Structure 1
Amino acid sequence: MSQPIIEARDLGIQFVRNRRRQLRIREMFIHRGGRQPKSEEFWPLRHVTFDIQPGDAVGVIGKNGTGKSTTLRLIAGVLIPDEGSITVRGKVAPLLQLSAGFSNDLSGRENVHLVGSLHGLTPQFLKQKFDEIVDFAGDQVRAAIDTPVRHYSSGMKVRLGFSVIAQLSHPILLVDEVMAVGDAEFRAKCYATIERLLAEGRTLVLVSHNENDLTRFCNRGLYLDRGRLKVDGTVREALDAYNNVVRT
């Protein structure tokens, strides 16, 4: 077997939840100058070990708050683990928070070049692919391409972000519920793009609650429950474990 393209060993990360944020204004005045509420430390992910081989298509499955998106962000390098290690042998195309890199003061056209350059695409490549990127994003985006993106809907930003990131040649594709955004026509474009990338031998890690999407694209499944990896097997085995918990 070839060397894993993603390798997690006893992976864990700790967050701090400050209860002060949940206080009412009256309670904040009561606590002012006195004892402050304690921060609560918790582990959204801990003792997680898995390997992903080149060309695998892996669905990350579980309830909300069980560490799925945290896993993707650790793979992407957005988060640094507090325990264990995560080794990624290849560049990552992150279809996560697709509008996160946009500047609201810049137009859609300018943001295509900004986000593309942040991911290593050259000005020449972006100029050559610009019409294709905007066509993929749809007529609504094309009509507003020279308008500041502060005036875009969230769906328009996601469509434009997906259109740019889909141009990356990176071997690892991380997808977090992107296909849940947009109309049927845009979702069909997303499906076709992901199928094309998988056919090229890319590695996919997909977070989704959509069972049809998971079984359509994924050959493996990781089922997470309360930050722990419970099942590492076929996507069907992971879904069955998840559905058994949901039904109880």
Structure 2
Amino acid sequence: MSSELVINCANVGKAYQLYLRRNDQLKQTLFGRWKQFYHNHWVLKDVSFKVHQGETVGIIGRNGAGKTTLLQIICGITRPTLGNVKVAGRIAPILALGSGFDHELTGRENALIGGAILGVKRSVIEARLNQVAAFADIGEFFYQPLKMYSTGMAARLAFAVCAHADADILIVDEALSVGDADFQAKCDAFIHDFARRGTILVVSHDLEMLSTLCDRVIWIDDGAVRELGRPEEVVAGYRHSIEGRAAEDRAAEERTAPARAATL
């Protein structure tokens, strides 16, 4: 791991405007200068951390904790409401590239566009199209419109493009976990190989994988950093929290069961 800083998240917060009534958004447009007709829903709250070159950092947390929103901010897909993020190097955002595909274009055409989005010269990505097609392993569908693809096939194509983009930073989201065992093994092999030469930020519920792959793990809880440190320590704390909440849920279920039975 190098001392060079490649990702610096400083006091990042992200809020979405929630409108309770149908006409409130229109009122905000017309009269927002004088009155606020929405309330802020904070998805991220004062998140700060740094990632150095060559480091592999995992992000864990319950569904809805804000993990994917954080990655979207780092990738530049959405902007933070508060704070700032600085990134040094070319990012391959596997979580996001597939969502930007044009479903009327073929896989080959989308691979060319995806390469351009990632900053790869057209001549370079054209020279690698056969490799991209082989990695995606979707056969003749590579030359068919994306609207004919399954979700898994689109994810294969997105991963294949990112794998051949000469990125400095790989961003991987749990949403990638689709496809058969062979493709998953191919993805895992690529990620482990990339970890030896690049920087990785990965969101996953596979705690065993994160424990062996990552140098550090960040635990996001209710939009804030609850813990950041060595994988074995953070993962152990997260597991304990999950087990504790599960026990509380079971206890609550047991307390309410007699009352429900009495009403039947």
TM bracket, shorter-chain basis? 0.7 to 0.9
What is residue 156 of structure 2 aligned with on the other side?
A: 159
- 2:98 match: secondary structure: coil
**Residue type of the partner of 1:225?**
D
Q: Which residue of 2 aligns with 1:205?
A: 201
Match of 2:56 in 1: 57
For residues 166-205 of structure 1, what are the structure 2 equivalents within 5 Å?
Answer: 166-200=163-197, 202-205=198-201
Contact 1:12 1:83 in 2 (8 A): yes
In structure 1, the residue matched to 2:19 is: 18
Offset, 1:19: 4.0
Q: Is the 8 A contact 2:94 2:159 kept in 1?
A: yes
Matched, 1:226 2:222: yes
1:97 alignment partner, SS class: helix
Distance in structure 1 (CA, Å) of the matches to 2:4 and 2:129: 36
TM-score by length of 2: 0.82
What percent of counterpart residues are identical?
Answer: 34
Equivalents in 1 of 2:208, 2:177: separation in Å?
Answer: 12
Matches within 5 A, 1:19-168: 19-20=20-21, 39-138=38-137, 141-168=138-165
Q: CA RMSD in A?
A: 1.6
| Structure 1 alignment gaps of length 5 or more | 22-37
Q: Give the SS at the match of 1:173.
A: strand
Residue 123 of structure 1: CA displacement?
A: 2.3
> Structure 1 residue 216: deviation in Å?
2.9
Deviation at 1:245, TM superposition (A): 1.4
State the Cα distance separating 1:70 from its structure 2 match: 1.3
Greater RCO (CA < 8 Å, at least 6 residues apart): 1
Q: Is the 8 A contact 2:59 2:201 kept in 1?
A: yes
Give, in whole Å, the separation in 1 of the partners of 2:83 and 2:123: 41
- Equivalent position SS for 1:100: helix
Q: Give unpaired runs (5+ residues) of structure 2.
A: 23-36, 245-264
Aligned to 1:26: none
For residues 48-68 of structure 1, what are the alpha-carbon distances to aligned partners after superposition, in whole Å with 9 as ceiling and x for unaligned?
111111111111011011111
Given that 2:216 and 2:229 are in contact with CA atoms closer than 8 Å, whether structure 1 keeps it comes out as: yes
CA contact (8 A) 2:97 2:114 kept: no
Structure 1 letter corresponding to 2:167: H
Q: What code does the residue aligned with 1:163 have?
A: A
Q: What are the Cα deviations for residues 189-221 of structure 1, in whole angstroms up to 9, with x where unaligned? A: 101111121112x11111011112212321101
Task: Tell me which amino acid in the other structure corresponds to 2:84.
Answer: S
The structure with more radius of gyration: 2
- What CA distance in whole angstroms lies between the structure 2 residues aligned with 1:66 and 1:155? 25
Secondary structure class of the residue paired with 1:44: strand
CA contact (8 A) 1:58 1:235 kept: no
Amino acid at match of 1:235: P
CA distance in 2 between counterparts of 1:9 and 1:114 reads 32
CA distance in 2, matches of 1:80, 1:49: 15
Matching residue of 2:210: 214
Q: Could you state the TM-score of these two structures normalised by the residue count of structure 1?
A: 0.87
Q: CA deviation at 1:111?
A: 1.2
| Cα separation, 1, equivalents of 2:106 and 2:82 | 41
Aligned residue pairs, count = 229
- What amino acid sits opposite 1:245 in the alignment? S
Structure 2 residue aligned with 1:28: none
- One-letter identity of the residue aligned with 1:4: L
How far did 1:178 drift? Answer: 4.6
